[in-house]
Structure 1
């Protein structure tokens, strides 16, 4: 498992190794894969901004709750960014090898995490969990 993970991470930083796999796919598909990757990075940046905003601007909430929500959003950003590059590499390899594109559960988990964070903030504000 560790070896497979290390091999995947090495592939992220090795364009020559990626290029040596299979044949070069149609550039339109590679660029579409890259645009999807960039969209996931924008989502990660939005989660970072959300975490910082919760910590800085929801000062009426109790500090432990505020920090917990902010850390939850920041953790979501880390997962989203790492998963984005992993999914980009897996899709690029699949296209080069003529395989089916890999599926991911990340959109579902991201939706669940965002919903949980929104519900916790909404309940906290609604119930007046503040100083």
Structure 2
């Protein structure tokens, strides 16, 4: 059975948003790696960059399987799968933000 096109298009927009989020996380990781070494302690700066780029890879890698699983559930009129990585992204980005804030305050 074909799902309502509005739900299919909403699922597609969510997929594209995951890809946009992945791109933003990747850009943030590259920007963090490019911060001059006198601003942050180098190993912490590198760690933050690695965390951001890893989150980016997870977001990009999980976007299509999530889209596919939701599309399958819509077609079968089954319950939607839970957002398995939502906590990882929420806590991951929050941890990076807190660490960056601490480093900014200490550098001032």
TM-score, normalisation: structure 1: 0.75
Query: How many angstroms apart in 2 are the aligned matches of 1:106 and 1:34?
Result: 18
Q: CA RMSD in A?
A: 1.6
**Runs of 4 or more above 6 Å deviation:** none
Pairing 1:127–2:81 present: no
Q: Counterpart of 2:88?
A: 109
Partner SS state of residue 86, structure 2: helix
Once the two structures are TM-superposed, the CA of residue 58 in structure 1 deviates from its matched residue by 4.7
Q: Counterpart of 2:27?
A: 49
> Could you say which structure has the larger radius of gyration?
1
Is the CA contact 1:58–1:66 (under 8 Å) kept in the aligned structure 2? no
Pairing 1:85–2:85 present: no
Partner SS state of residue 79, structure 2: coil
**Ranges in structure 1 where 5+ consecutive residues have no aligned partner:** 1-22
**Structure 1 residues 53 and 109, CA, compared in 2 at 3 Å: closer, same or farther?**
same
**Structure 1 residues 58 and 100, CA, compared in 2 at 3 Å: closer, same or farther?**
farther
TM-score, normalisation: structure 2: 0.89
Number of residue pairs matched by the alignment = 107
Query: How many angstroms apart in 1 are the aligned matches of 2:6 and 2:13?
Result: 10
Once the two structures are TM-superposed, the CA of residue 70 in structure 1 deviates from its matched residue by 0.3
